[in-house]
Amino acid sequence: MKKLAIATVLACCVSLSGCGGDDEPAKSDDKASETRDQTLTKAELIEQGDAICKASNEKIDAADDRFIDPENPTEAEFRAAVNDTLVPEVKGQVEDLRALKAPAEDAATINEMLDSIESGLVEVEADPLAILQGDPFADANKIAQDYGFEVCGAS
């Protein structure tokens, strides 16, 4: 196995929305809460999404640090990284992105991207090694990049 294809593939996963679970409950006067309650512009969605992707990608990349030999993770280490890091992170991202209000004219594109991520997750949950045989998130990554994200969906 190559240096955790997980680091590359996982960092490429469309990581559009927060890491999930780490935030305090929002208060009604909380600016972040207000942002989630209002429709974002495309630029705002890209900016917030890329910031979230960056934070999440750092957590996913840190999975390499747990390998005895990061250049050659064992199958067990790889499976654990996918199951314990990748899957929960990406699920949280999808959930958080769905909470953001994309511009009405872009909602179909964003939903298509998120649905594609969820399809990739089904494949990865069934077989974590599927990542080594292809990128189950390739379609979602392309949609993200075509939409204008710079961090999300990037290789």
Tell me how far apart the alpha carbons of residues 55 and 75 are, in angstroms, rounded to a whole number: 26
Q: Is the pLDDT of residue 11 over 70?
A: no
* pLDDT average, residue stretch 14-28: 37
**pTM, full prediction:** 0.76
Question: Cα 92 to chain center, whole Å?
Answer: 8
Return the higher-pLDDT residue of 63 and 128: 128
* pLDDT average, residue stretch 24-47: 66
* pLDDT > 90: percent of the chain: 47
- The answer to whether 26 touches 33, Cβ cutoff 8 Å, is yes
pLDDT of amino acid 57: 85
At residue 96's C-alpha, the angle toward residues 83 and 15, to 5°, is: 55
Q: Tokens at residue 121, please?
A: 């997750």
Residue 101, strand partner residues: 39
pLDDT of amino acid 2: 41
pLDDT, the chain, mean: 79
- Residue closest to 144 by CA, chosen among 119, 121, 115: 115
Q: Is the pLDDT of residue 35 over 70?
A: no
pLDDT of amino acid 67: 84
**Residue 37 — very low, low, confident or very high, per pLDDT cuts 50/70/90?**
low
* pLDDT average, residue stretch 71-76: 90
For residue 87, the one-letter residue type is V
